Each structure stands twice: as C-alpha cells, then as structure tokens.
Amino acid sequence: MITVESVSKSFGGRPAVDDISFQANDAEILVLLGTSGCGKTTTLKMINRLIEADSGNILIDGKNIRDRKPEELRMGIGFVMQNSGLFPHYTVRENIATVPRLLKWDRKKTEDRTEELLSKLHLSTHLLSRFPNELSGGQQQRVGIARALISNPPVLLMDEPFGALDNITKAGIHAEFKSLEELKNKTTVLVTHDVQEAFELGHRICLMDKGKIIQTGTLKEMLYRPENDFVRDFFAANRLLLEYKVTVVKDVLPFLLGFEMDFPEDSSIWTVIQKLSADQVNTAPYEQMVQAFNRYRKLQAV
C-alpha cells in the first residue's frame, strides 16, 4: 500500500533521514519507533509531501506521490499531527470540518458524519462549539483523530497521537483506538517514541536511529530476532512485559498438556495471567500458565 524506497532528506547539509526503505501493507498499523530526533516526523511528512524528499521514491497504491498534486494527495491521507495540531482559533466543529470544506460537502453531510465520529470516539456533541484550549488533552487528541478520519481516507498518518497524555488516559485511549471499526481497513503509519505504545498498537515496527532504519519486523521478530545489539538494548528495559504481551495462548499450548482452559487462542499471556491471578485460592492454573510461558520463551531465547 505504501512503499518507501531509498528515501533521504537533509536539512542544511545534515541528514535527517538517510536512505530508508520500508513498506506498510494494506490494513496494517506500521509503527515508526525511535528516540527524539531520529527522523520519524520527517519520514511521516514526506509521505504526504509536507516535506519533499531529496531522493528516493514513495509510492502509494503503486503510484509515485511525486506525480500527484500535493493537495489532491493529501485528500486521501488522514493526518494526525503531534500535539493534536488543532487550529486554536477554530471551534471543534470547524476543526473537524476542515476536509469537508475543501471537498465542498453540503452542511447536512458534514454534520451527519461529524456526529457519527463523535459518538464512535466517545465525544459529547456539547464540545462542538468549544475551542481546543477548552478541552482536556484526551479530548483534543480525539478531535484530532476525528478530523483525520472524517472523509474516510484509506491511509492514516499519526505523529505521536497520544504523546501528550498521562499513562492512565493513554491506556484507555489505546484500548478504544484498537477497537475502532473505522481503522480496520486503513493503512496506518504511526510515529511514537514509546516502546509500550508501539507494541500495544502496532502490527509491525520499524525501529529508527539517527535517520536510519535499524530493523523492521513483527513484534515477535523485534524481541526474539534482533539483528544487532542496538535492537536488543532498545527493548531490554521492557523485555519481560513485552514478551508477556506478544505471546499468545496458542504459542504455549504445547507446554500446557492436560490443562483445561477456556481462553481464546489469540489471548495474550499477559491478559490470561491477569485473569488467573485473581483466583487466590486455586493458584495452580496461574502457576502452570507462567511455567508454560517460561518454557516457551526459553526456546525463543536469543
């Protein structure tokens, strides 16, 4: 769906993005992960031509974005900016209607779609006449997401969309975000510096450092098949928790012989042991599950 081929960008002679290549597949959430200044935002903005690449090619649906008018290209791409990026002097209603105005939708169509999105994003219609500075951080981010989704674009680019939120709010919004039906068929490139967020939301991760992509892979590949010490070290601090989260019941079934359990095969071990740990009388299922998980991870060890 999105193909980035050998793309570079320098600012004043200093490379910000250095010969990177990756693909984001149909209906997948690809995460660009890395510390501040590694080139994530620059990469994202080259995909909708807010920044022009110096060299290399970016294709969307097989078409080179250089052959398209930037305004027209951006109509097909929802963009959620860092720190919500709402226009401060526009109300919530006007912010959400940015793209419909450009597309010359009639009032009824815009209103209906706005209401539909507000309800999906759990925002009250009371907020429509407020200005961004009259909203909480979480509300601002939701409005930013509504604005990006309104015309149902096939591609969504999100730059640290939950960056300004505290951890409790973040966990809630992550859960909602993952269950949003609106996202199911979109190709999403999500930028974050937050390892846990990357694992929570991403299908695959591109780990970046100093303008380069160090490794691209599934969540499990990043943990169990790191290509070098940089990748290994990057996840070291969160490693055990991440392993609990990416390992699912199906993975540990071979080590659970004779163990009766009614969790779906795609439940994460993290979810399962949280539930099992609630039973403080019969602790055997919990212990067996942890043991099976440990056997599994020993076999993956790197």
- The residues binding ligand ADP (CB under 6 A) are 11, 16, 34, 36-42
List the interface residues with Mg ion, window 231-260 (CB under 5 A): none
Q: Which is nearer to ligand ADP, 38 or 219 (CB)?
A: 38
Site string for Mg ion, 38-77 (x = CB under 5 A): ---x------------------------------------
d(CA 21, CA 40): 13
Sequential DSSP letters for 167-224: HHHHHHHHHHHHH-GGGTT-EEEEEES-HHHHHHH-SEEEEEETTEEEEEEEHHHHHH
Q: Which is nearer to ligand ADP, 148 or 246 (CB)?
A: 148
Contact 108, 116 (CB under 8 A): no
Q: Give me the least distance between CB of 82 and Mg ion, in Å please.
A: 6
Residue 11 interacts with, from Mg ion, ligand ADP, none (CB under 5-8 Å by kind): ligand ADP
Strands (E), the chain: 2-11, 14-24, 29-33, 55-60, 63-64, 77-80, 155-159, 187-192, 204-209, 212-218
Site string for Mg ion, 210-229 (x = CB under 5 A): --------------------
Q: Which is nearer to ligand ADP, 160 or 200 (CB)?
A: 160
CB-based contacts of 13, cutoff 8 Å, min separation 6: none
Q: Which is nearer to Mg ion, 4 or 117 (CB)?
A: 4
CA dihedral sign, ordered 150, 152, 157, 163: positive
List the interface residues with Mg ion, window 14-43 (CB under 5 A): 41
Q: Does 141 bind Mg ion (CB under 5 A)?
A: no
Q: Give me the least distance between CB of 163 and Mg ion, in Å please.
A: 9
